[in-house]
Amino acid sequence: MSMADEVITKILKVSNGLGIHARVATRIVQKMQEYSCAVTLTKDDVEVDARSVLGLLLLAAAPGSEVLVKAKGPDGGSAIQEIARLIQSDEPQG
């Protein structure tokens, strides 16, 4: 299996004060443009593309909820770290 075929998964707890709201979702989508891997987030059996603001909002991921992040591609680990930084930060996103 090559690095490009490797699938990395990680469960992340949403710990920012507002959950995955519009501003955070927009920042995730913007940041994912820097990566070549395919990234999805799953919560309560709903799986969405990390490059879709509407999809991310559809998760309704409130503070304290857990999401499964899955990345397939050579830079998947870095993409997951970036998502973790965005959804676990108390800093204003904007």
Predicted confidence (pLDDT) per residue in 16-55, tens digit:
889 999 999 999 999 999 999 999 999 999 999 999 999 9
User: CA 39, CA 33: separation in Å to the nearest integer?
Assistant: 11
CB atoms within 10 A of CB 73: 19
Residue 87 appears among annotated catalytic residues: no
**pLDDT (tens digit, 9 = 90+) per residue, 47-88?**
999 999 999 999 999 999 999 999 999 999 999 999 999 999
Q: What share of the chain is helix, strand, coil (3-state, %, to 5)?
A: 35, 25, 40
Span 3-87: which CATH code? 3.30.1340.10
Q: Per the residue annotation, which of 8, 10, 21, 74 is the catalytic one?
A: 21
Query: Helix or strand or coil: residue 9?
Result: strand
* Residue 48 amino acid letter: V
